[in-house]
Each structure stands twice: as structure tokens, then as C-alpha cells.
Structure 1
Amino acid sequence: MYILLALIAACALGIGVHYLLPHRDLRGVVVVPAMATAASAIVYTVMQWAGVGQDSGWLWLASIVGAVALAGVAGFALTASRHRSDAAKRAALGI
């Protein structure tokens, strides 16, 4: 049940990261929060299987802050890739 706390926190912080990153019009609204939530679920599950207890601060730090940071980096890379792709297509079309 505690995994839900980590997932909700990661999703909420992912929403904030979406609005902090530039060029948010080039990606969907739920891309960054969805990546943060998925990464949080994966990190939490792997750390639980590795034997890290629910009372450990490292579990919560890694599953929330680490997942949000990972989603922020991935969202920034996705946006930069989309920006380069759009610029290349505009240059090819002569716009």
C-alpha cells in the first residue's frame, strides 16, 4: 500500500516538472508525469525486492526524487529532440 504514496507524490511532482521545463507545447501534458510515475513504480519495486525496508529513507528518496529527476531529464531530451526534428523539417521545406 505504501507504494501508492510514492506513486502519487511522483505524479504530482511530475506535473510540476512538466510546467518547469521549457517548450511544453512540444510534448503532451501527461508525458512527464507518466514517466515519473512509471519510474517511481519500477524503482520502488526493485528496491523492495532488493530488501530495502519501507521505513528506509533511501527507498522514498530514490523512488520519488530519483524518478522525478529521471522524468525531467527524459522530458527535456524528448523536447530537445522534437525541437531539432521540427527545425530540420522546416529547413527541408524552406519555411
Structure 2
Amino acid sequence: MELLFVAVIAAGIGLIVRYIIPGRRAYGLMLLPLGTAVVACALWVALLWGGFTFDGGWIWTISLVGCTIAAFLAAVLLPRARRASDERMRQKLGI
């Protein structure tokens, strides 16, 4: 049940980051929320397998901070990659 809570909170974090960082027109609406939820769930499961308990504070902190960092990185790097890709395509097409 806690994994569902982590996924929903992480998706909310991703949605907030999408509107905080400029450049959101370079990627889809649900990319950041979905990506942050996946990262948070993967961290959560890895930490559970690593011996953390689901009711401990560290598993929540590490999972949510990790997904927030991933969301900020994606929000910064995706528009740059999109612009570079678009420029390569323009040069290839001769536009």
C-alpha cells in the first residue's frame, strides 16, 4: 500500500517540477510525473530489498528526494536534447 502512496506523491512532485522549470513544451505532459513515479518506486523497492522498513523515515526521504532530483535533471536536460535534435534534423533537411 505504501508503494502506491510513494507513486502518487512522486507523480505530484513531477507535475509540480514540470511547471516550475521552463521548457515544458519540449516534452509531453505526463513524461515527468511518470518518470518520477518510476524512479521513486524503483528506489523504494531497492531500499526495501536492502533492509529498510516501509514505516521508517529514511526510505521515504531517500525515495522522494531521489525522484525530485531525477525530475529536475529531466526537466533541464530534455529541452536541451530536443533543441539539439531539432537542429540536427533541420540541417539534415536543409531548412
TM over 0.5: yes
Normalised by the size of structure 2, how large is the TM-score?
0.87
How far the C-alpha of 1:92 sits from its partner, in A, is 4.8
Output one character per residue of 1:30-89: Cα deviation in whole Å (capped at 9) or x when no partner.
Answer: 011110000011000010111101222210011112112112202321221001121333
Partner of 1:33: 33
Instruction: Describe the superposition over 1:6-36 as per-residue Cα deviations: whole angstroms up to 9, x where unpaired.
Output: 1111000110011112211110000111100
Aligned partner of 1:9 in structure 2 is: 9
Identify the residue that residue 78 of structure 2 maps to in structure 1. 78
Amino acid in the other structure paired with 2:39:
A
Identical pairs, percent? 31
Structure 1 residue ranges, 4+ long, deviating more than 2 angstroms after superposition = 87-95
Q: SS of 2:52's equivalent?
A: coil
- Gapped runs of 5+ residues in structure 2? none
2:57 maps to 57
CA contact (8 A) 2:24 2:75 kept: no
Provide structure 1 residue ranges, at least 5 long, that are not aligned to the other structure: none
